[in-house]
């Protein structure tokens, strides 16, 4: 049976979801491995919108079937996620409670705004070089074309190994790979186990004013030494690391990457968390929504996109791939 929402989107009814439910318990729920596959030199983040009138269940099935043999993705890691409401419509009870998309902009005390540009599907591809990532990206868009259209794409590349385009080391306070599971993955027994909440944002840097700041002042903005990466003691309350302090907000796992050209470039923020709350709290703190002081980094970088996706476990996703096609 299918139902249609106000936008004319047709959703299949959900009773045949054979995922991580009491009725059909899965023996394991492992995260999509690409989340933790560090060291790749070329990235593409594709965000797609469901076609008007498309069937959400068919779309999820196509996404779940993107791996071989349908598409040749040799050598490229693929991580797939969904607008939380879309995933919940086909897999009820298989994502964190109350998880919704980035549906409203975040407006800070002085009007500083983090935009909401939510899409329906995200596919993150990472490989050794852009030629293979490009080929796989085209294959993905073509495989999904009947049900979804490409709405936004970003191509990312690491800048001098582990720097972001401010010239600072990015990722110093990331949890180790052992700790990252606890920070980023929904724990066993909870709805959505083995899955992860992804915050994906494109941040464009304002290079000229940033580069005209003396290094000592840049360090006050970030809250760390530029060359060594050591945290300042004391660090300004407005510094980026003070506004996102994981001791206060909880740990997340970041896979940020640089993007862009000489004229427009910046940071693709790729943050994985076991829940949305800690990511929201960091964004509130950075933008000073609800009071406090705005993150100084926001004077030199501005978010131009923002979306939350649920990245289901490999098993939950594979459940759909295993379904026979209509
Ligand atoms: C232009 C965008 C951004 C840039 C260039 C950037 C850069 C950095 C840098 C250089 C550090 C210090 C080194 C480190 O620990 O990794 C850092 C720390 C951090 N950033 Fe960002 N960041 C950006 C946006 C964000 C956003 C949007 C969030 C959260 C939603 C975030 C969360 C964090 C966290 C949690 C830390 C570690 C804080 C701690 O010390 O516990 N960042 N970032």
> What DSSP letter does each residue of 117-158 carry, written as one string?
---SEEEEEEESSHHHHHHHHHHHHHHHTTTEEEEEEEEEE-
What's the average model confidence in pLDDT over 270-275?
A: 98
Q: 319, 96 in Cβ contact below 8 A?
A: no
Note whether residue 24 is domain-resident: no
pLDDT tens figures, 120-174: 999 999 999 999 999 999 999 999 999 999 999 999 999 999 999 999 999 999 9
Q: Which atom of ligand 1 is nearest to the CA of 297?
A: 1
Separation in Å, CA 168 to CA 70, 129, 222, 255, 285: 41, 24, 8, 15, 21
Query: How far, in Å, is the centroid of ligand 1 from the Cα of 281?
Result: 13
Note whether residue 233 is domain-resident: yes
Question: Could you tell me the pLDDT band of residue 227, with boundaries at 50, 70 and 90?
Answer: very high
Percent of the chain whose pLDDT exceeds 70: 88
Q: What is the pTM of this model?
A: 0.92
Supply the range of the domain harboring residue 316: 2-12+31-321
Determine the residue of 115, 173, 280 to mutate for testing ligand 1's pocket, defined as the one with the most ligand atoms within 8 A of the Cβ atom: 173
Sorted by sequence, the CB contacts under 8 Å of residue 6 that are 6+ apart come out as: none
pLDDT tens figures, 52-107: 999 999 999 999 999 754 445 668 999 999 999 999 999 999 999 999 999 999 99
Q: Whose CA is nearest to atom 35 of ligand 1?
A: 244
The tally of domains found in the chain comes to 1
Separation in Å, CA 30 to CA 5, 314, 326: 32, 6, 28
Q: Whose CA is nearest to atom 4 of ligand 1?
A: 267
Note whether residue 297 is domain-resident: yes
Q: Which residues line ligand 1 (CB under 6 A)?
A: 164, 166, 168-173, 199, 201, 203, 222, 224, 240-241, 244-246, 252, 267, 269, 271, 279, 282-283, 301
Query: How far, in Å, is the centroid of ligand 1 from the Cα of 75?
Result: 29
What pLDDT does 28 receive? Answer: 78
CA 213 to chain centre: 30
Q: Whose CA is nearest to atom 23 of ligand 1?
A: 269
Tokens standing for residue 102: 């980035």
Q: Whose CA is nearest to atom 10 of ligand 1?
A: 170
pLDDT tens figures, 107-122: 998 999 999 999 999 9
Q: Whose CA is nearest to atom 29 of ligand 1?
A: 282
Note whether residue 221 is domain-resident: yes
* Residues pairing with 46 in the sheet: 123, 153
Q: Which atom of ligand 1 is nearest to the CA of 201?
A: 27
What's the average model confidence in pLDDT over 273-293?
A: 96
Note whether residue 305 is domain-resident: yes
Note whether residue 301 is domain-resident: yes
């Amino acid at each position: 049976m299918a139902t249609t929402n106000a936008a004319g989107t047709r959703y299949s009814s959900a009773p045949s979801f054979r995922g991580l439910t009491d009725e059909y318990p899965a023996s394991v729920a492992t995260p999509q491995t690409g989340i933790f596959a560090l060291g790749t030199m070329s990235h593409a983040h594709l965000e797609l919108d469901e076609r008007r009138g498309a069937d959400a269940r068919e779309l999820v099935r196509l996404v779940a079937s993107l791996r071989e043999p349908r598409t040749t993705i040799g050598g490229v890691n693929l991580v797939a996620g969904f607008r939380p409401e879309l995933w919940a419509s086909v897999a009820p009870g298989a994502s964190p409670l109350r998880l919704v998309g980035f549906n409203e902009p975040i407006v800070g005390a002085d009007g500083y705004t983090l935009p909401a540009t939510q899409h329906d599907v995200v596919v993150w591809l990472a490989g050794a070089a852009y030629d293979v990532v490009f080929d796989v990206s085209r294959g993905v868009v073509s495989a999904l074309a009947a049900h979804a259209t490409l709405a936004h794409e970003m191509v990312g590349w690491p800048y001098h190994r582990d720097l972001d385009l401010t010239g600072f080391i990015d990722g110093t306070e990331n949890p180790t790979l052992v700790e990252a599971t606890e920070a980023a993955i929904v724990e066993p027994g909870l709805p959505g186990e083995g899955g992860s909440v992804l915050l994906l944002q494109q941040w464009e840097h304002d290079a000229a004013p940033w580069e005209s700041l003396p290094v000592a002042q840049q360090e006050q903005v970030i809250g760390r030494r530029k060359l060594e990466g050591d945290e300042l003691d004391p660090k300004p309350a407005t510094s980026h690391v003070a506004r996102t302090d994981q001791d206060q907000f909880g740990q997340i796992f970041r896979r940020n990457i640089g993007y862009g050209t000489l004229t427009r470039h910046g940071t693709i923020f790729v943050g994985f968390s076991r829940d949305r709350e800690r990511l929201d709290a960091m964004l509130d703190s950075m933008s000073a929504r609800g009071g406090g002081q705005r993150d100084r980094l926001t004077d030199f970088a501005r978010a131009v996109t923002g979306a939350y996706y649920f990245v289901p476990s490999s098993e939950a996703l594979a459940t759909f791939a295993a379904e026979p096609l209509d």
